[in-house]
Structure 1
């Protein structure tokens, strides 16, 4: 099932960025073998749990995977993972390349074992710059790519991180695209390759794509920044009883808005009448929009704006989002039965294919749940597997 059916991925990632990428590949049909340490992915411990090691961050980032424990610092553990790699299409890792080299699992080693392998690294920085060996986390990269500075410009002047692992997820999705593109190239050439997906450069492009502004030119025409995004009144608007999300963007929408609100005075105001006028005076425009929207309730504005074909959406919190009528109607986050965790919500893949539909085949695994199964597939005998358990190279699921 899914467009990546038949693709085998050795997933040597942990925390969020790499696991989110490999979960997406698994959602698309790939067979994901998640290699974990004996302690397991640290996200197993994050958030409220019904059972130790099965926290919500882990559950929502590791479906459609099989789990195997291997101690890669032991020769037998390294040999075992090399046997998995020999039969894989893709290896994904998210430690620094220097760490992979210390484990003797660098591309120079594994490409000799499997020349068709796509060797994908998601880590902090491109390897040809002075930051090559630096550690990186979502918060650090947010700061280094100006997101807190932009947040400060739009609020009270205090820099803040976006309250979401934005970098990890954007870079994870970038990795999915890079891996799929590499598989297409391999199908054409028969050769695998190393592909690096650095966090810093990926996010620099992501942020500056909006905010390069006059810095695009040499010499610069201004200090950069997209005025509409940086307007202090670009935010959910207060109504008489709550908040609402509205964007009046093009000329047709503004014409409809003027008619719906009886504001003919704004129709002829040069600051409001044209796209160029609004762009130049965006703070004035958004401030006036904010004043208008405070005059009626959220439900009243929703009805008025939908009738006028002006884009409008509710401002949800985390709980109400799950009850949104569209989310409910599309069954995007159904409650299902996990074999050990009971009733849980499981978000579906957002992508849809007409010929190769994707379906959830596995829920997030217990630590080492599939170790014996995966080792058998790699050619290990029952006695060899028992020896690996005895020697602490792998771990029986009953021990978790």
Structure 2
């Protein structure tokens, strides 16, 4: 991706103060920055905790931190001291958005209560990220992504049916929280155009994780049957499963009767489409194990020279070999589409939302703790 440090974006002119730490808040603020907002990240003197997670450069930018903190200026403020609080108050004086994820009561102890600041800065959009929200019995308690996955039932659904519950290997609760926070900020900024007033945007990791319980929650509400682990299978579609092929693990998702008919035709067993056990999706779900056995045999005996995934896709059946991450990130089309970028020697994922007139851009890399000089804020 071309370095477009001077370009605007859909959020050009929006000023954001990022007081958040770790993942959900910083990722939300990064998304705002990707689309042109002027984001100032304010860290404690020791830096964001994620600077210590995983491989790191000599300047204290870890790989984990780098994935969440581009397109930001990097300042330091000790909020337990008056000088640090004054710095933040100066930044807030001309800010449009603040993102924070402090435990309840922390900012109040430092004289930075949201209610007071929003009263004096009525256009300010305040984005608050918490673990469990304000009304949950666990309100105010810490909650990392894996704990939220367990608490919200996501972990219960993930893993082999005969195995233990398994953590999703990506921080799905944190990332989803960030996306909801991002959309909430945009909603509040849009509404401010009508009312002239900001508002509080609240999102918890727990609520965000609960929002991912589809179709498990919808099915349970309708039937009363508790959902269970299915491995890589789908609860409502068959076949939708991983099969071992001569070229590696193959995932096939034939969501319609037509797609199933094409699938078995490509596999050289068209009669299976007329088998009463497999005639409809409902039939295939009832006979899932018999169906999987039939397909496993057919796929396992394929000629190793047959690019079955490409053939199925070409005929309208969703399918893919299960690709390792390193192969995915090395694919040429990612760079061509801007989904792998490089800036100042640092490779990173790109911006997934592509706007035709005001595209996002990667302008500045993540930097060392306190690398930037505070800019004078406009008095309130």
> In the alignment, which residue of structure 2 is the partner of 1:367?
369
Show the 5 A alignment for 1:217-366: 217=222, 221-224=224-227, 229=234, 235-296=241-302, 297=304, 299-336=306-343, 338=344, 343-366=345-368
Partner Cα separation in structure 2 for residue 214 and residue 304 of structure 1: 33
Q: Distance in 1 between matches of 2:208 and 2:57?
A: 36
Match of 1:211 in 2: 216
The answer to which of 285-294 and 82-91 deviates more is: 285-294
Whole-Å separation in 2 of the counterparts to 1:255 and 1:362: 51
Q: Does 1:99 align with 2:102?
A: no
Matched residue, 2:203: 197
Residue 168 of structure 1 pairs with residue 146 of structure 2: no
Counterpart position of 2:376: 376
- Does the 8 Å contact 1:234/1:286 carry over to 2? no
Give the distance between the partners of 2:305 and 2:280, measured in 1 at CA. Answer: 27
- 2: distance between equivalents of 1:249 and 1:276? 11
**What is the total number of aligned residue pairs between the two structures?**
368
Query: For 1:279 and 1:106, how far apart are their aligned partners in 2?
Result: 54
Q: Deviations over 1:289-313 (max 9, x none)?
A: 3332212238531343234332222
1:156 aligns to 2:162 (yes or no):
yes
Q: What corresponds to 2:5 in structure 1?
A: none
Q: Which secondary structure state, in structure 1, belongs to the residue aligned with residue 357 of structure 2?
A: coil
Hey, what does 1:395 align to over in structure 2? none
Q: Which residue of 2 is the match for residue 393 of structure 1?
A: none
Name the stretch that deviates more: 184-193 or 232-241: 232-241
Contact 1:244 1:298 (C-alpha < 8 Å) held by counterparts: no
Structure 2, unaligned runs of 5 or more = 1-7
> Is 1:7 aligned to 2:14, yes or no?
yes
Structure 1 residue 225, shift from structure 2 partner: 5.5
TM-score by length of 1: 0.85
- The structure that is helix-richer by fraction is 1
Q: For the aligned residues, what is the CA RMSD?
A: 2.3
> What is the CA distance between 1:212 and its match in structure 2?
1.6
Q: How does 1:76-95 map to 2 (within 5 A)?
A: 76-95=83-102
| Partner Cα separation in structure 1 for residue 107 and residue 306 of structure 2 | 56
Matched, 1:20 2:22: no
Ranges in structure 1 where 5+ consecutive residues have no aligned partner: 380-400
Runs of 4+ aligned residues of structure 1 deviating over 6 Å after TM superposition are none
Asked if the contact 1:8/1:90 (under 8 Å) is kept, the reply is yes
Q: Which shows bigger deviation, 18-27 or 353-362?
A: 353-362
Cα distance in 2 between the residues matched to 1:18 and 1:93: 6
Contact residue 14 and residue 42 of structure 1 kept, 8 A: yes
Decide whether aligned partners of structure 1 residues 270 and 102 sit closer, same or farther in structure 2, where only a CA change above 3 A counts: farther
Q: 1:199 to 1:234 in 2, by over 3 A?
A: same
